[in-house]
Structure formats: C-alpha cells, structure tokens
Amino acid sequence: MPIYEYKCDECGAIFENFQKITDKDLDICQSCKKSGIKKLISSSGFRLKGSGWYETDFKGKKVKEDKSSPKLNATDKS
C-alpha cells in the first residue's frame, strides 16, 4: 500500500497517509482540521505485506548447500 505525503497550506503541517492508489486524495488536514491540503511529490514509499516477500519468507533461512560438486580440503593438492 503506497504512503503519500501531504502538506497543509493553513498550518504548514506535513503528514503521511497510507492509502490505496484508487482512493481519493485527502482534503482535510489531520492537525488543524481545515481544508486546503496538497499532495506532495516525493519518492514513493510502500509496504510489502503477505507471504512471498524476502522479509517474511527468506531472511532467516539458511541457503542449502550444493552437494553435486565436491569441495576440496586445504590438504588436497589437486
């Protein structure tokens, strides 16, 4: 879900809001409760949720060792 930044023209507050791409832009300031806020153009942030993402599925697991190719020991002189 994207994270959007808004700035209020009335009080100068800058805040973020999680919302779907299809949601309408906010029009009321979260601080002063007045209208007149604008969406800022900034680098987008988003959160990946659910299974299938590195953070939830792969981060803590060890990589399986490839047993098909033999490993040389330090004592081998091949």
21 pLDDT exceeds 80?
A: yes
- Whether residue 46 contacts residue 5, with contact meaning beta carbons closer than 8 Å, is answered with no
Nearest Cα to Cα of residue 6 among 24, 23, 32, 29: 29
State residue 59's pLDDT score.
Answer: 60
CATH of 2-44, one of 2.60.120, 1.10.12, 2.20.28, 3.40.50: 2.20.28
Cβ count near 69 (within 10 Å)? 5
- What does the domain layout of the chain look like in residue ranges? 2-44
State residue 54's pLDDT score.
Answer: 61
For residue range 26-63, list pLDDT tens digits in order: 999 999 999 989 999 877 666 666 666 665 555 665 55
State residue 32's pLDDT score.
Answer: 94
- Mean pLDDT, the chain, whole residue set: 76
State residue 42's pLDDT score.
Answer: 74
Backbone phi, psi, residue 64, to 5° = -70, 140
For the chain, what percent of residues have pLDDT higher than 90?
37
